Amino acid sequence: MFVRKITFENFRQFYGEQQIEFAQGVNDRIVTVILGENGRGKTGIYRGVLFGLYGDRALEQDSDGKEDIILTNIKKLEEDAKGARQGVTSSVTIELVHEGTVYTIKRTLLAYQEESGKIIEQIKEVSLTYKEQVITDKEQVQAMVNDMLDERVKNYFFFDGERIERLTRASDQQRKEIAVGIRNLLKIDELIKSESVLQQLNKKLLSDLEKTSTGDYKKKLKEQLVNDEQIEQLQYVMNEAKDKLVALETELKTIDAKLSTYKEDEQLLLLRKSKEEMVEQKRVEYMKVVEHLQQFNQVLSLIMAKDALYVVKSQLEHVMGTMSEKEEIDLALIQKLLHDLTCICGTSFNKGSKEYAQLQSLESRVENRVAKQEHYVLLTEINQLIGYLDGKEAELAHRLEHVQAKQQEVEGLEQELEQVNKRLVGSDSNEIAQLNQKRTFTYEEKVHLEHALTLHESDLDEHKQMKEQIELALRDLRVKSGVHEKLAKKQEAVQKSLTCMSHMIKEFERKVVAELEQACTENLAKLLDESGRMNIHSVQVKNDYSIEVLNSYGRSFLANISQGQRQVLSLSFITALAQVAGNSAKLDLPLFMDTPFGRLSSQHEENLLSFLPQVCSQWVLLVTDREFGERESELFLQNRCWGKFYMLESVEPGVTQIIQRPPGIVRSRVSRSGGVQ
């Protein structure tokens, strides 16, 4: 699928009727560059695409507490409010080609401004025209659009600088976005709903079984129901906490944006940001060494019992006396010699002789040894265990020292961070002081919430392990109990179905994650410079949905990469999402990107400009002249991929004119370093 043309009528900044024809891959020219300053309508163009295709009135990035988005042109609304007040019709018309067929989608809004100034908007109508047919049923139109570009993955074909930046920041916002992206790519909504229904049915059947059962089976069923309730409650609390963390991270970002306007505290703000990142990194390292220490849990009880082992060893040695474990003479042989009155060498002896008495003494010792054979086995095992624990004590001490050292590093950095916060709160400006105080409270709340979430995760793991143990116990008890056989078989069948379905979903998700990792790793190799390729080997999506990069030795390396490499990593992952969603290494869909060149080095930028035209069938680039200048335009011209060029020029406040220009050298007003060119 590719977009031929989009026409705006009184939509957002575009007063009257204006249109953009996109490059469609003729002679491999797939790139459309739309250049304009911030606020001129770059994002409004993509907003129009989503409104036209899906009727969306807001973008994903609008869900941060902003006021309702008005889609109708404000100037046109003001004119109508001062005139006849008949309302204003605005529309978006998209002409696209899918599998050789031309489709035209038109979606219309009706808006008017009340005397109070409040603006009311509502979607008036939608139509889809193709092969001389006109469809106006909203649901039918939407179904056909979804067949061309599934609504669940629509957000993975538009990426702005903010999303590119946050995707490689270890935060709950990042993890949530990646998790949602993967879930959207799975396209198994009905399967997930079925899993939820089975969970509820299983819960009801267990409750019915508990009511009709007796004895230990009833007790164990009650235990399972209580444990399942605790798991469900923990998952709810954790989801609430994660949503709260995302809100706190957004609030911190908003506060930081306000604080960045105060130049006099710029160095302190940068220092605080650096300290916070160091604290976060050290906390991650601390949790890793704590997990390493927790692996000792199964040995701790043995170490605590070491003194008792020495006592038992001493008692055994006392009971066994001076007997030597090495006496290997067979008791039956001695008894035969005594019976035959013949020495092993063939010499005869009599009862009561010295030889006879010596053999009797040996017989007694061997009988004693045989009687105490189990004592020898136990003593041997205790000696081996004591030797094993001697080494484990030293290892435990080393791990404890490591944990304490990491804890001291975290506490030291937290104290340094607190001092920086105090300096900022003590600023002369009341507004800066209030912002910093609010930021300190927000940051502390975030830290406390993260700690609580860690504890909840540990509790959840314990309850899940308990669930497995209870289910095993129930299987044994079910055979022994006189339970309602039909009901028990029904519950068992539902449990098996639920287990099977959960396994299928996890396996499917694992395969999608593996595809993402492979595609992202391949993309990253093409975008990195030589130095980056030497240090970064592969990309990993961890169990918590955070992104990690591994070096050549398979070790975590994300904390060591530069800002530019982070942006390249993010772009690689974004492109991989689009590739996996489109089920192809080459995207058969338009890819929109808003200001993607923020922190790229020259080599990374050159690699990106060469790479994306190879994997896209259509690339729409929304840029400012600060990031798309002579060098970038020259690269596009050299690659022969630049097909269309538009400039967004402000005519008056709130009104933008779309002006087409032939592809050519764009001269930037401001260089990357801030100097005039």
Mind listing the pLDDT tens digit for each residue in 250-262? 788 788 877 776 6
Q: Is the pLDDT of residue 327 over 60?
A: no
Q: Is the pLDDT of residue 323 over 60?
A: no
DSSP 625: T
Map residue 422 onto helix, strand or coil: helix
Average pLDDT over residues 212-231: 86
**How far apart are the C-alpha atoms of 549 and 536, rounded to whole Å?**
7
Q: Binning pLDDT at 50, 70 and 90, where does residue 483 land?
A: low
Question: Encoding tokens for residue 223?
Answer: 């235990």
Higher pLDDT, 660 or 591: 660
Least trusted range by pLDDT, from 158-172, 352-366, 559-573: 158-172
Q: Convert the pLDDT of each residue in 614-650 to its tens digit.
A: 778 888 999 888 878 888 888 888 888 899 999 999 9
Looking at residue 252, its pLDDT comes to: 85
Looking at residue 255, its pLDDT comes to: 84
Looking at residue 93, its pLDDT comes to: 97
**How far apart are the C-alpha atoms of 167 and 42, rounded to whole Å?**
22
Question: Which residues lie closer than 8 Å to 672 by C-beta, 6 or more apart?
Answer: 626, 627
Q: Binning pLDDT at 50, 70 and 90, where does residue 10 land?
A: very high
Looking at residue 594, its pLDDT comes to: 81
Side chain identity at 563, as an amino acid letter?
A: Q
Q: How many CB atoms are located within 10 Å of the residue 100 CB? A: 5
Q: Is the pLDDT of residue 125 over 80?
A: yes
Question: Encoding tokens for residue 677?
Answer: 């060119």
Domain at 2-162: CATH architecture: 3-Layer(aba) Sandwich (3.40)
Side chain identity at 177, as an amino acid letter?
A: E
Looking at residue 300, its pLDDT comes to: 67
Alpha carbons within 13 A on the beta-carbon side of 634:
6
Q: Binning pLDDT at 50, 70 and 90, where does residue 301 land?
A: low
Q: Binning pLDDT at 50, 70 and 90, where does residue 77 land?
A: very high
Least trusted range by pLDDT, from 19-33, 379-393, 502-516, 626-640: 379-393
Average pLDDT over residues 154-180: 70
Average pLDDT over residues 487-503: 87
Residue indicated by tokens 């909840």: 456
The domain ranges of the chain are: 2-162, 188-295+428-490, 301-402
Looking at residue 121, its pLDDT comes to: 92
What is the C-alpha radius of gyration for the chain, rounded to an integer number of angstroms? Answer: 37
**How far apart are the C-alpha atoms of 439 and 258, rounded to whole Å?**
11
Q: Is the pLDDT of residue 101 over 60?
A: yes
Higher pLDDT, 398 or 624: 624
Average pLDDT over residues 62-84: 79
Q: Is the pLDDT of residue 326 over 50?
A: no
Range of 87-96, 469-478, 574-583, 650-659 with top mean pLDDT: 87-96
Report long-range pairs for 73-77 (Cβ below 8 Å, ≥24 apart): 73/10, 73/11, 73/12, 73/13, 73/14, 73/15, 73/654, 73/655, 74/654, 75/15, 75/652, 75/654, 75/655, 76/10, 76/15, 77/111, 77/112, 77/113, 77/119
**How far apart are the C-alpha atoms of 439 and 85, rounded to whole Å?**
46
Looking at residue 268, its pLDDT comes to: 76
- What average pLDDT does the structure give for the chain? 81
Q: Is the pLDDT of residue 249 over 60?
A: yes
Higher pLDDT, 34 or 116: 34
Q: How many CB atoms are located within 10 Å of the residue 600 CB? A: 22
Q: Binning pLDDT at 50, 70 and 90, where does residue 172 land?
A: low
**How far apart are the C-alpha atoms of 615 and 611, rounded to whole Å?**
7
Asked if 369 contacts 321 with a C-beta cutoff of 8 angstroms, the reply is: no
Question: Encoding tokens for residue 487?
Answer: 């009901």
Q: What percent of the chain has pLDDT over 70?
A: 86
Element (H, E) at 120: strand 119-130
Asked if 590 contacts 3 with a C-beta cutoff of 8 angstroms, the reply is: yes
Beta bridge partners of 18: 8
Average pLDDT over residues 608-617: 80
Least trusted range by pLDDT, from 187-191, 198-202, 420-424: 187-191
Asked if 671 contacts 91 with a C-beta cutoff of 8 angstroms, the reply is: no
DSSP 643: E
Question: Encoding tokens for residue 324?
Answer: 């030597």
**How far apart are the C-alpha atoms of 150 and 98, rounded to whole Å?**
13
Give the pairing type, strands 14-21 and 2-11: antiparallel
